[in-house]
Amino acid sequence: MQQQFDELCAAIAVAMEREKLPGLAIGILADGQEFTAGLGVTSIENPLPVDENTFFQIGSTTKTFTATALMRLVERGQLDLDTPIRTYLPDFTMRDREVAEHVTARHLLTHTGGWRGDFFEDTGAGDDALAIYVRKMAELEQLTPLGAVWSYNNAAFSLAGHLLARITGKTYETALDDLVLKPLGLKRSLLFPTHVMTNRFAVGHGIWEGRAHVLRHWDLVRANWPAGGIAASVKDQLRYARFHLGDGTAEDGARVLQKAAIAAMQTPIRGGALDTKMGLSWMINDIGGVRFVQHGGGTNGQLSYFTMAPERKFALAILTNAGTSVMIEAAAMALEKFLGVKNDIPKPIAKPQSELSEYAGRYEAALDAIELRIGDGGLTLQVIPYGGFPVKDSPPGPKPPPTRVAFIAKDRVIALDPPFKDVQAEFLRDRGGAVEWFRHGGRIHRRSPLP
């Protein structure tokens, strides 16, 4: 098995050189064995070799940590997932009063709140950052009815972090440390940048014009940490995986959660995007007869991939400091090499050009717009970045090249060209059957006429 891992790392190194990816860390749990490796460097400006202990931002995989902490409160009887959160946050308000009165923690953990989810307001670095942020959520537009449509929602997890803080009477960071990080022995999983900076850590890069460029800001604002603030080593990611593959005990034998709570988090509750189903913060896919429980994350030039196959006691964690293509390629190679699982790419189906006008249009979301235009016998997709991440005033990044898209089902498409090659997206219809939304990157984009 070591030889398999060495061959995998050699193939990843080739892909990194091809795609100009500066650094990557990978870890695998398989057949009771652990394999880890670091490749490349932390930064092109101040390069240090990446190793198994290098800190990378894991981004939205942090959401599963926040959910794990909340499940501890559920077991203690301090939180009910289906009780309106106003029970715990009496002063909580939103633009839609009905939503404010009825939203529950289950809505938060399953991305079904329905309001605009990408909200990266900097409310300062103080202990009141989350409380101020949640007050400002009253400004957010309600896009869809509560519980009706799945759309990835970062703001919901900041709200979940505030809920955790309010119930425990501690800051989010202290509560997470007490409930999850310390009990699981996750000593190389940190939130505060001032703690991360005393260790070897990766910085994010963008890749354009054939080379990597360091991106700044490095950190997310404190109010968004419950949604994506952890920086961790790949070894700690595997330690975290062992807990969620286990029976709810930590490696020292201490009971952290009941086995039933671990299972509940990994049980599909409702549909998500495409073929993904939602558990409690975890995303669940069945590929090649194997069930995968997973998450991932993206910050400013850093990406994480985290997946587990509970029935096979397998886990894979990949951390990178640029791009998506190598991470996706590395994950596919790892799953095929260690589990014999291959995620077959759907084949395009013919769609008469006369039917394409039903889908062509401009689709708007908080961080970008997507234009779908008819040409060359099919649809061409163009992403237009707006900026607004990692802070509200961040300028837009470079506009990616357009990509052709092809239909693989009635309302589902797949990208045919880089940088989104093989990425799928789908159209959602209103009650009258007209195309109303385009769900791309997990976010719903509202349709409007092309300019």
Using a pLDDT cut of 70, give the percent of the chain over it: 100
- Whether residue 217 has a cis bond before it, omega within 30° of 0: yes
Question: How far apart, in Å, do the first and last CA atoms of the chain sit?
Answer: 55
Report pLDDT digits (tens) over 81-129: 999 999 999 999 999 999 999 999 999 999 999 999 999 999 999 999 9
Quote the pLDDT of residue 290: 96
Instruction: Quote the distance between the C-alpha of residue 153 and its chain's center.
Output: 10
Q: What's the rounded Cα separation, in Å, for the pair 239 and 227?
A: 20
Q: Where are the domains of the chain?
A: 1-344, 353-448
pLDDT on residue 96? 96
| E-state strands within 18-137 | 23-30, 33-40, 56-57
Residue 179 near residue 69, CB atoms below 8 Å: yes
**pLDDT digits 0-9 by tens, 357-395:** 999 999 999 999 999 999 877 999 999 999 999 988 899
Residue 201: per-residue pLDDT: 98
Over residues 429-445, the pLDDT tens digits come to: 999 999 999 999 999 99
Res. 176: pLDDT tops 90: yes
The SS3 of residue 443 is: strand
Q: What angle do CA 382, 59, 62 make, to 5 degrees?
A: 135
Is residue 314 within 8 Å of residue 331, measured between CB atoms? no
Residue with tokens 């385009």: 438
Average pLDDT over residues 149-155: 97
Mean per-residue pLDDT of the chain:
96
Q: What is the pLDDT of residues 326-345, one digit of tens each?
A: 999 999 999 999 999 998 88
Q: Which residue has the tokens 């996750």?
A: 186
Strands 303-309 and 435-440: unpaired
Beta-carbon contacts of 163 under 8 Å, excluding residues fewer than 6 positions away, are 70, 79, 85, 88, 89, 105, 108
Residue 198 in this model has a pLDDT that exceeds 90: yes
C-alpha span between 21 and 18 (Å, rounded)? 8
Let me know: does 385 contact 399? Beta carbons within 8 Å: yes
pLDDT band at 418 (very low <50, low <70, confident <90, very high): confident
Helix (H, G, I), strand (E, B) or coil at 402: coil
Q: What value does the mean pLDDT take over residues 9-17?
A: 97
Question: Does residue 188 contact residue 54 with C-beta atoms inside 8 Å?
Answer: no
Give the mean model confidence (pLDDT) for residues 232-244.
Answer: 98
CA distances to 17, 218, 269 from 57, in Å? 22, 9, 28
Cα gap 105→63, rounded to integer Å: 13
* Cis preceding-peptide flag for 22 (omega within 30 of 0): no
On whether the CB atoms of residues 234 and 52 are closer than 8 A, the answer is yes
Average pLDDT over residues 306-323: 97
Among 41, 326, 20, smallest CA distance to 202 is for: 41
Q: Which CATH architecture does the domain made up of 353-448 adopt?
A: Beta Barrel (2.40)
Cα(254)–Cα(441) distance, integer angstroms? 38
pLDDT on residue 257: 98
Percent of the chain, pLDDT > 90? 90
pTM of the model as a whole? 0.96
d(CA 63, CA 81) in angstroms, rounded, equals: 16
SS3 (DSSP) at 171: coil
* Model pLDDT, residue 197: 97
Q: Are 36 and 25 in contact (CB under 8 A)?
A: yes
At which residue do the structure tokens 């709810």 appear? 248
Q: Taking every pair of C-alpha atoms in the chain, what is the biggest distance, in angstroms?
A: 63
Confidence tier at 272 by pLDDT (50, 70, 90): confident
Long-range Cβ pairs for the range 17-22 (8 Å, 24+): 19/207, 19/323, 19/325, 19/326, 20/207, 20/210, 20/211, 20/212, 20/322, 20/323, 21/207, 21/212, 21/320, 21/321, 21/322, 21/323, 21/326, 22/47, 22/205, 22/212, 22/321, 22/322
Burial class (CB in 10 A: 0-12, 13-18, 19+), 432: exposed
Instruction: Give the type of residue at 250.
Output: A
What is the CB neighbour count within 10 angstroms for residue 76? 11
The Cα–Cα gap between 186 and 233 comes to 9
Q: Give CA torsion, residues 356, 362, 363, 367, to 10 deg.
A: 140
Read off the pLDDT of residues 60-84 as tens digits, 9 standing for 90 and up.
Answer: 999 999 999 999 999 999 999 999 9
Residue 210 has pLDDT above 90, yes or no: no
Answer yes or no: CATH 3.40.710.10 is held by domain 1-344. Answer: yes
Instruction: Give the pLDDT confidence score for residue 343 in this predicted structure.
Output: 84
Q: Is the pLDDT of residue 141 over 90?
A: yes
**Which residue type does 99 have?**
V
Q: Would you state the pLDDT for residue 353?
A: 87
277-278 sheet: strands from edge to edge: 33-40, 23-30, 314-320, 303-309, 290-298, 283-287, 277-278, 270-271
